[in-house]
Every structure is written in C-alpha cells, then in structure tokens.
Amino acid sequence: MAKKKRQERKKATLGHFNHDEFLNRIGKRIKVLRKKNGFNSAELFSYDIEVSRVGMSKYESGNYDDIRMRTLLKIIDGLGMTPKEFFSEGFD
C-alpha cells in the first residue's frame, strides 16, 4: 500500500502593508470625523464613550502601538457610524 504524500501547508506571510502607517491613518480618521461630527473636545468625547482620555489622545495623534478592537468599536459607534462607514474612505 502506497503512502499518501503529505500536502504542503500554505504559510502566512507579513509585509503586505505598513502596519504603523495603517494605525496612523486610523488615528487621523478618528480625529477628522470627531471634529466633523461636532465633537470639539477629544476629552469630552472620550468621557462620553468610556475610553480613557490619555488613550484617546494617543489614538488621535497616532502615538500608539495597538488599539483594542472593542475600543475602536466604541469610538466608531460614538461617531455614529458603522465599521464599514468608518473604513470606507482612506483605507483602500
């Protein structure tokens, strides 16, 4: 009886886009949309959506290494948007 040849698995790779630039674009988009939607104070906006003031400042300035999905969803929801709407511009 012949042995079946083991199928080589597909391996994931990195390097398809710049992660730091993507996080920076998220921060810029948050700040632009916050102001566009009439939330002039990042501090008050962060208080309203229960995100730390310091964290919100870091996200908007792009001075962060990571953002929790739940935090990003709170921000998007606080802007009155869906994730699809949030990522519809500038993330192609």
| pLDDT score recorded for residue 7 | 86
Backbone φ and ψ of 13, nearest 5°: -130, 155
| pLDDT score recorded for residue 1 | 64
| pLDDT score recorded for residue 51 | 97
Q: Judge whether 11 lies within some domain.
A: no
Q: Judge whether 4 lies within some domain.
A: no
Residue numbers of the domain that contains 62: 19-86
90, two tokens:
């500038």
First and final CA of the chain: distance in angstroms?
52
| pLDDT score recorded for residue 91 | 74
pLDDT in tens, the chain (92 residues): 667 788 899 999 999 999 999 999 999 999 999 999 999 999 999 999 999 999 999 999 989 999 999 999 999 999 999 999 999 987 76
CATH number of the domain enclosing 78: 1.10.260.40
Total domains present in the chain: 1
